[in-house]
């Protein structure tokens, strides 16, 4: 199961009760953060998941409201006792930008490792593994290079005792094979697929900010259990303004959710000029009914589907 | 008159209800900020003095908890419509550190101007003028170069009509001379001192963090109307720990206040491990009775003394 929390939902400007847009995921005791604006460590502390198990930080792009909290967070993670490396993922140049920001945090008790991603075409998807996480990435359409992310939890097939018996697999190996281990015994290699049925549907969460809608997004987010998407403004009348700044309004996010056939949409990255996003939620729900207005520390635990 | 607000009082780690240590001063519609940690723009917005009139930013030193909020603040000041330059004062190197931090805020609608200060000896004081402000600076004793600041508001002498008459100064010039203007009329230069009595006591506010007590500080803060001083811990038993990290406990700050014969002491820069500084205030008041435990947005208006 995958825990997700929107630790901030504000665009551009941190407000007292709305931190800057970011999300955190937790899987098997490991945390992944997407973006880290000013104050992210404060709301993360409020969330109560701790700091030490932060294994991966993904950056969407290099605007201040998505990055400035990094040095403070890294120092706090250091104070939590962490000594294991942290992997930082982002557009090409992320290593240099992080190095510059960390001028005020030059010494950390752990290593930073970088994965820089470049997209030649807007329809290209990249898959990568960092820490416990299987991640997909897509190029977005913002005023600078910007990345949308997907988090994926694979699910093995069901244990199939008949299949195991048919292949004469010793019963004492069943447990280890079922857990995904391969075992060599008496000169024969046993692999998990010998005792498992076909792979089952896993979990998929997609996170898309800051961008205009793109033609690649419906496929990138397709079938997501949760689609977290920016909506700078709720009112459709603000669409030209949103487009001018390479952002979306709620109805555009909802249209993507519908096109991608996702299960649920959470809106985020609100303009500081919009104090009550709920007021405009109907602009999303009339297009995609399972739309919700995200708020700081809105949290969900996503389980595997029953099958 | 000078308005002072402690916009944050926390050390190291921003907390939900205690922002990082910083102060802002307002004089004749111009603002000066000392330090800018993560979240300073949030608490500054709460204070309600606006952003556009921020003319000067002084940095004590280059630790993350005193600097990371700068890029976000500068962008917000830009969005407020400011186009006039901002002067940034700090230890030598401040230009390079600010340039690095602003990698995520590369374009601002105004110029940044820098004043870099270097102290050969710990007993040296520097005086400078930036924006509306007369500023003094002293080297502190921290784990890196660190500066204590003084803000000074001069006060001219009283208007002295007898003195003006004695010097046969035309009555129609009295008003302009009284306001501090020099006037040339009929081949003679008239200066304000011709109509004013001796200079009167002005206003002095001193701001000292992060440091151990130094021998120069009593003289530097001497006679301050308000002395704002760090106290990482309240409990005297934590003194060795405070000293190890080049900080002070409350009683050390109070001893400085007493030695400097200041009018009032405000404590700030509390350890995140100390949720209730009031609990330890007696450790300061027993040494210097007019000691107060600072809190976020604690504000005072300091007037000229009656004389």
CATH (domain of A219): 3.60.15.10
Q: Distance from CA of residue B214 to its chain's centroid?
A: 18
Q: Do A275 and A288 lie in a common domain?
A: yes
Cα–Cα distances in angstroms (integers) from residue B34 to residues B10, B76, B90, B103, in the given order: 14, 17, 10, 22
Q: Report the candidate in B124, B143, B125, B142 with the shortest Cα–Cα distance to residue B134.
A: B125
Closest Cβ opposite residue A63 in set B16, B62, B104: B104
Q: Report the candidate in A209, A207, A179, A202 with the shortest Cα–Cα distance to residue A191.
A: A179
Q: Do B30 and B179 lie in a common domain?
A: no
Q: Is B87 within the bounds of a domain? A: yes
Q: Do B106 and B231 lie in a common domain?
A: yes
A115 within 8 A of A130, measured Cβ to Cβ = yes
Q: Return the ∠ at Cα A41 (arms to A39 and A44), rounded to 5°.
A: 115
Q: Do B59 and B164 lie in a common domain?
A: no
Q: Do A171 and A33 lie in a common domain?
A: no
**Chain B residues 100-139 with CB within 8 Å of chain A:** 100-101, 103-105
**If phi over 0 gives left and psi between -120 and 50 gives alpha, with beta otherwise, what is residue A83?**
alpha
Which phi and psi (to 5°) does residue A172 adopt?
-65, -15
Q: Is B307 within the bounds of a domain? A: no
Closest Cβ opposite residue B46 in set A16, A39, A42: A16
Q: Do B106 and B210 lie in a common domain?
A: yes
Which phi and psi (to 5°) does residue B256 adopt?
-65, -45
Residue B200, Cβ density class (10 Å: 0-12 exposed, 13-18 middle, ≥19 buried):
middle
Convert the pLDDT of each residue in B223-256 to its tens digit.
999 999 999 999 999 999 999 999 999 999 999 9
Convert the pLDDT of each residue in B122-156 to its tens digit.
678 888 888 888 999 999 999 889 999 999 998 88
- Paired residues of A292 in beta bridges: A266
Indicate the pTM of the whole model: 0.84
The helices-and-strands tally (H runs, E runs) of chain B is 9, 16
B258 within 8 A of B291, measured Cβ to Cβ = no
Cα–Cα distances in angstroms (integers) from residue A204 to residues A21, A149, A291, B101, in the given order: 20, 10, 17, 35
- A75 at the B interface (CB within 8 A)? yes
Please name the residue of chain B whose CA is at the shortest distance from the CA of residue A67. Answer: B104
Q: Do B128 and B179 lie in a common domain?
A: no
Q: Is A219 within the bounds of a domain? A: yes
Yes or no, beta carbons of B14 and A72 under 8 Å apart: yes
Q: Alpha-carbon distance B274 to B279, whole Å?
A: 9
Beta strands B183-185 and B188-190: pairing type? antiparallel
Determine the 3-state secondary structure of A71 from DSSP. Answer: helix
> What is the per-residue pLDDT for B122?
67
- B259 at the A interface (CB within 8 A)? no
Q: Return the ∠ at Cα A33 (arms to A302 and A272), rounded to 5°.
A: 95
CB atoms under 10 Å from CB of A44, counted, come to: 27
- Paired residues of A189 in beta bridges: A184
Q: Do B92 and B170 lie in a common domain?
A: no
Q: Is A307 within the bounds of a domain? A: no
Q: Return the ∠ at Cα A267 (arms to A262 and A268), rounded to 5°.
A: 135
Q: Do A125 and A190 lie in a common domain?
A: no
Take residue B193 and report the two structure tokens written for it.
């001192």
Q: Is A171 within the bounds of a domain? A: yes
> What is the per-residue pLDDT for B306?
76
Alpha helices in chain A (DSSP H): 40-47, 70-79, 94-101, 161-166, 174-178, 217-220, 239-244, 250-259, 282-285
Which entry of B65, B210, B225, B296 is annotated as an active-site residue? B65
> What is the per-residue pLDDT for A51?
97
Yes or no, beta carbons of A42 and B46 under 8 Å apart: no
Residue A240, Cβ density class (10 Å: 0-12 exposed, 13-18 middle, ≥19 buried):
exposed
Q: Which long-range contacts (CB under 8 A, 24 or more apart) does A165-171 make?
A: A167/A194, A169/A194, A169/A195
> What is the per-residue pLDDT for A184?
87
Q: Alpha-carbon distance B250 to B236, whole Å?
A: 8
- Paired residues of A54 in beta bridges: A31
Take residue A292 and report the two structure tokens written for it.
């919700």
Q: Alpha-carbon distance B115 to B92, whole Å?
A: 8
> What is the per-residue pLDDT for A121?
67
Determine the 3-state secondary structure of B42 from DSSP. Answer: helix
Q: Is A23 within the bounds of a domain? A: yes
Tell me which of B167, B198, B229 is where a domain ends: B198
Q: Alpha-carbon distance A152 to A126, whole Å?
A: 13
Kindly provide the ipTM of the predicted complex, given to two decimals: 0.76
- B39 at the A interface (CB within 8 A)? yes
Tell me which of B198, B221, B255 is where a domain ends: B198
Which phi and psi (to 5°) does residue A216 adopt?
-80, -20
Q: Alpha-carbon distance A65 to A35, whole Å?
A: 9
Residue A187, Cβ density class (10 Å: 0-12 exposed, 13-18 middle, ≥19 buried):
exposed
Q: Do B10 and B76 lie in a common domain?
A: yes
- A300 at the B interface (CB within 8 A)? no
Closest Cβ opposite residue A64 in set B14, B39, B75: B75
Which phi and psi (to 5°) does residue A132 adopt?
-80, -5
> What is the per-residue pLDDT for A157?
87
Count the domains in chain B. 2
Yes or no, beta carbons of B76 and A42 under 8 Å apart: no
Closest Cβ opposite residue B64 in set A14, A37, A72: A72
* Residue in the structure block whose two tokens are 């945390």: A31
Task: Write the CB contacts of A174 (distance below 8 Å, at least 6 apart in sequence).
Answer: A159, A161, A164, A195
Q: Report the candidate in A22, A101, A76 with the shortest Cα–Cα distance to residue B69.
A: A101
Task: Write the CB contacts of A231 (distance below 8 Å, at least 6 apart in sequence).
Answer: A248, A249, A250, A252, A253, A267, A268, A269, A270, A277, A284
Yes or no, beta carbons of B104 and A64 under 8 Å apart: yes
- Paired residues of B189 in beta bridges: B184
pLDDT along chain A (307 residues), means of 10: 96 93 96 97 96 97 95 96 95 95 94 88 81 91 93 89 89 88 86 87 95 95 97 97 96 98 98 96 98 98 84
| A82, B39, B271, A42: CA torsion to nearest 10 | -50
Residues of A involved in catalysis: 65
Residue A236 belongs to domain spanning: 2-156+199-302
> In chain A, what is the straight-line distance between the N-terminal and C-terminal CA atoms, in Å?
15
- pLDDT beneath 50, residues of chain B: none
Q: Do B149 and B37 lie in a common domain?
A: yes
Tell me which of A174, A198, A222 is where a domain ends: A198
Q: Do B31 and B84 lie in a common domain?
A: yes
**How many CB contacts within 8 angstroms connect chain A with chain B?**
95
Sheet of A112-117: strand order equals A112-117, A86-91, A54-58, A30-34, A22-27, A2-8, A298-302
> What is the per-residue pLDDT for A307?
54
Determine the 3-state secondary structure of B128 from DSSP. Answer: strand
């Amino acid at each position: 199961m995958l825990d997700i929390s929107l630790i901030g939902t504000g665009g551009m400007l941190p407000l007292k009760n709305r931190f800057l847009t970011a999300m955190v995921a937790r899987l098997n005791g490991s945390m992944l953060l997407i973006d880290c604006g000013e104050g992210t460590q404060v709301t993360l502390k409020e969330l109560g998941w701790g700091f030490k198990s932060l294994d991966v930080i993904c950056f969407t792009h290099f605007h201040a409201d998505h990055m400035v909290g990094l040095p403070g967070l890294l120092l706090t993670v250091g104070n939590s006792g962490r000594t294991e490396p942290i992997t930082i993922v982002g557009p090409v140049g992320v290593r240099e930008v992080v190095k510059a920001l960390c001028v005020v945090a030059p010494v950390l008790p752990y290593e930073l490792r970088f994965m820089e991603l470049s997209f030649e075409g807007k329809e290209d998807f990249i898959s990568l593994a960092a820490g416990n996480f299987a991640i997909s990435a897509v190029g977005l359409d913002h005023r600078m290079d910007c990345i949308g992310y997907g988090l994926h939890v694979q699910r093995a097939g069901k244990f199939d005792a008949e299949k195991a018996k048919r292949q004469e697999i010793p019963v004492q190996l069943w447990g280890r094979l079922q857990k995904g281990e391969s075992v060599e015994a008496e000169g024969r290699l046993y692999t998990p697929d010998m005792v498992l049925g076909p792979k089952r549907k896993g979990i998929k969460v997609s996170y898309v900010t800051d961008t205009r809608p793109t033609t690649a997004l419906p496929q990138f987010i397709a079938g997501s259990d949760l689609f977290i998407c920016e909506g700078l403004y709720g009112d459709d009348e603000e669409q030209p303004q949103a487009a001018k700044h390479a952002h979306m309004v709620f109805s555009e996010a909802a249209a993507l959710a519908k096109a991608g056939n996702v299960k649920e949409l959470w809106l985020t990255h609100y303009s500081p000029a919009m104090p009550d996003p709920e007021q405009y939620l109907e602009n999303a729900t009339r297009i995609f009914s399972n739309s919700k207005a995200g708020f700081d520390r809105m949290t969900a635990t996503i389980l595997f589907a029953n099958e």
